[in-house]
Amino acid sequence: MTKYNPKKIEAKWQKYWQTQKTFLAKNGSKKDKRYVLAEFPYPSGAGLHMGHLRGYTAGDVTSRYLRMQGYEVLYPMGWDAFGLPAENYAIKTGVQPAISTAANIKNAKRQMQGWGMSFDWSREVNTTDPEYYKWTQWLFLQFFKAGLAYEATGLINWCPKDKTGLANEEVIDGKCDRCGTVVEKKNLRQWYLKITAYADKLLEGLKDDLPEWPEQVKLQQENWIGKSTGAEIIFSAKIPKQGITVFTTRPDTIFGATFLVVSPELAQKWIAEGWEASKQVKTYIDRALTKDEQDRTAEKKDKTGVDTGLTAENPATKKQIPIWVADYVLGNYGTGAIMAVPAHDDRDAEFASTFKLPVVEVIKDGVMVGSSQKYNGKRAEDVMEVMAKDFGKPKVHYKLRDWVFSRQRYWGEPIPIIHCEKCGIVAVPDKDLPVLLPKVKKYEPTGTGESPLAAIDSWVNVKCPTCKSLAKRETNTMPQWAGSSWYYLRYVDPKNKKEFAAKDALKYWLPVDTYFGGMEHTTLHLLYSRFWNLFLYDQKLVPVKEPYKKRVPHGIILAHDGEKMSKSKGNVVNPDDIISKHGADTLRMYEMFLGPHEAQVAWSDQGVIGVRRFLERVWLMGETVAKNNFSAKSSKNAEAALHKLIKKVTEDIENFRFNTAISSFMQFMNEIKDEPVDKKLMQTFLQVLYPFAPHISEELSELLGNKKSVQQSAWPKADLSKLIESSVEVVVQINGKVRDKFSVPAETSAKDIEKQALSLEKITVALAGAKPKRVIVIKNKLVNIVI
């Protein structure tokens, strides 16, 4: 017997798949299609990690299985290579981004191929390739021409470390989601995509078009969009002259509004417009604006605020009520001002209690009591709409804000816009795309609010395409999310030079059937790409409204100590090290065996060894079957175990229960360890094992005399008639307490089962000569002896 040598076997079959083009997907095939997608990575200097492997292996198991089911399967891969991660790595190493990114991609591709991934590499895309970002720029211009891409100066999130603007979705708990630095607010000229115009369509899609998405993912997006239905009501005031507009979801409580609270952001705007606020108010505003949103809105936080000395008129009571500034009101939600109703809102009640402000109850047990004759005695819910119209106008507000789409960095897609003094903002003509990112010596961010591109006069200064006057290029670049917002579309037709993808290719492949990825991208990439696709659908450029039919998120892999893997803690497990020691099949199977796919799991070196031993047993069994020249015939028990395995693994792959599928393989090996196994059974077992451990399956299949790849074989079907157990285990109890167990053929009569149970040594000792009063036999399951 030869020793299991994964290094030799895996190199052999990876080369075979590559030369034979085993995983090539055909456009327009007559087969039914399945489009399986895993999030493409940004190529970091550290290489790919265990988190990448988890999603990619799940996608690979699914893709290999679906091919064997007879589908035309597209499982592509590429590189999300523009943006902050790649640029920061280049700055850290002192290597040009283009050079460092190319080297990182080469290393990541080596890793993926070493893992035995069945990607169709003929469709590989790279967001930094001009042939790719030409279409990213073209798609941006479709937004621009539709009025959904616009330039404006506004208060945005600013990361002082990365020296760039950030979208709201890139700020987590008040910090930059990339580097963890506390985010500041800065007034800057920016480009925006009007995602708010699609807020309702994004919500409708979650409700009506995505039944196979996890509820947790849909809820996160729904909460992020944050639709609120209510009314805008104007409280007249001397300062500001136009009055104060508040948004409320409870217009029925307006008679209980005893003060107004404005956000520090809105109060600061009043000061800029000429309001002479007191020193105390200015100090409070300055201090509040340094806090992050989570700190400002925390439920258990002590309420702080300052009286402006100003008043406004409550349009319902006609009374003058004080105006306060408080940090628990945010400038980016609603109008930046609220009417405070302490009798019917907990936060307002806390604030009123802290500053001894009046409380007026206007609703009791759902009935209006403290308003006016018109409303008193009626149920609040019945007069809500009427009161919204009587005192203001019905309004819908969203937490969602337009997407800040420009970055003050070098390493990104140039925004294809030209600024002309005569013509204004002009789109770069299609014939001049792509606008190439120029090669530069200095690519470090300036921190001034301008991109490093602004300093390259030879690139910035151009002629206006409309009037031919001297003009200037837009110098901000697109965010790292631009290329990933449509990459799934390019995979279907990646070499097309005339359009981003041909209509027939889009029609055949879309939507993506199964999309594997992390939970952390729910309100970033997933939301953005849904927005792009909905827009393109409205423009009749894609055939489906929603890009992804099913979303399958995976949990984080923690270190063996239960902590997050990090270099500083010294607990990182490198996939390359595991492959070098145990092989790719062991790593793949262990990744899937760790726990439920969606769960957070901890790494275990001992668990890896267990999977390696399992594969060694498989290897020994396969070699033994081949060496015996297939003379043995499989037992009924072995056949029953195999068909039980086929049924279980089929169901588990269909439902992404990869961990229990692998448990079934191990159980199968235990069940047949003393049973004869023939070539047919061994080959069928290898077909079922193949999606999880493809290298060893291919090698042993070849050893059994098969000349074709296992990938070309059909997925086995469970023969239900063989699932009937040939033998059963019977538990023996005395007065309900388990004393022993034994196996009998499934067809054994109740009388014979009773006889065998009473003859067992442990039972005769326990009875000690006593005669049973009664013996209860449940056939094929239980014998209970009553004494």
The pLDDT of residue 414:
98
Nearest partner of 364 among 349, 375, 353, judged by Cα: 375
> Taking the CB of residue 227, how many other CB atoms lie within 10 A of it?
15
d(CA 392, CA 334): 15
Query: Is it the case that residue 171 has pLDDT exceeding 70?
Result: yes
Question: b/e for 711-746, b at 16 or more Cβ within 10 A?
Answer: bebebbebeeeeeeeeebebebbbeeeebbebebee
- pLDDT for 272-303, tens place per residue? 999 999 999 999 999 998 887 778 888 778 99
d(CA 222, CA 521): 14
**Beta strand extents in 97-252 (DSSP E only):** 125-126, 149-159, 164-166, 171-172, 175-176, 184-193, 227-237, 244-248
The pLDDT of residue 630:
58
> Taking the CB of residue 114, how many other CB atoms lie within 10 A of it?
18
- pLDDT for 336-373, tens place per residue? 999 999 999 999 999 999 999 999 999 999 999 999 99
Question: Of the ranges 101-105, 229-233, 623-627, 719-723, which one carries the lowest mean pLDDT score?
Answer: 719-723
Q: Which amino acid, residue 268? A: Q
Q: Per-residue confidence at 183, pLDDT binned at 50, 70, 90?
A: confident
Indicate the SS3 state at residue 232.
strand
Give phi and psi for 706, each to the nearest 5: -85, 130
d(CA 326, CA 267): 10
Question: Of the ranges 105-114, 582-591, 724-733, which one carries the lowest mean pLDDT score?
Answer: 724-733
Note whether 646 and 717 are within 8 A (CB): yes
Question: Of the ranges 222-236, 237-251, 741-755, which one carries the lowest mean pLDDT score?
Answer: 741-755
The pLDDT of residue 292:
78
Nearest partner of 478 among 502, 500, 504, 451, judged by Cα: 451
Q: What is the mean pLDDT of the chain?
A: 94
- pLDDT for 113-169, tens place per residue? 999 999 999 999 999 999 999 999 999 999 999 999 999 988 788 898 888 888 887
Q: Per-residue confidence at 570, pLDDT binned at 50, 70, 90?
A: confident
DSSP calls for 310-361? EEEE-TTT--EEEEEE-TTS-TTSTTSEEEE-TTS-HHHHHHHHHHT-----
Q: Which amino acid, residue 58? A: A
How many helical (H) and strand (E) elements, i.e. helices and strands, does the chain have?
25, 31
As a residue count, the chain comes to 787
Bin 65: left if φ > 0, else alpha if -120 < ψ < 50, else beta.
alpha
Q: Which residues pair with 3 in a beta bridge?
A: none
- pLDDT for 607-655, tens place per residue? 999 999 999 999 999 999 998 865 679 999 899 999 999 999 999 999 9
Q: Per-residue confidence at 725, pLDDT binned at 50, 70, 90?
A: low
Bin 536: left if φ > 0, else alpha if -120 < ψ < 50, else beta.
alpha
d(CA 55, CA 39): 8
The pLDDT of residue 631:
65
Share of the chain above pLDDT 90, in %: 82
Mean pLDDT to the nearest integer, 565-587:
91
Q: Which tokens in the block code for residue 293?
A: 């949103």
Query: Is it the case that residue 577 has pLDDT exceeding 80?
Result: yes
The pLDDT of residue 320:
98
Q: Is the pTM of this model over 0.85?
A: yes
* Residue 542: partners with Cβ closer than 8 Å, 6 or more residues away: 489, 506, 510, 533, 536
User: What is the distance of C-alpha 462 from the center of its chain?
Assistant: 41
d(CA 434, CA 488): 20
> H helices of 157-255, where?
199-208, 215-225
> Taking the CB of residue 333, how many other CB atoms lie within 10 A of it?
18
Mean pLDDT to the nearest integer, 396-421:
95
- pLDDT for 370-405, tens place per residue? 999 999 999 999 999 999 999 999 999 999 999 999
Cross-sheet strand order for the sheet of 417-420:
424-427, 417-420, 470-473, 461-463
Q: Which tokens in the block code for residue 432?
A: 């001049």
Query: Is it the case that residue 726 has pLDDT exceeding 70?
Result: no
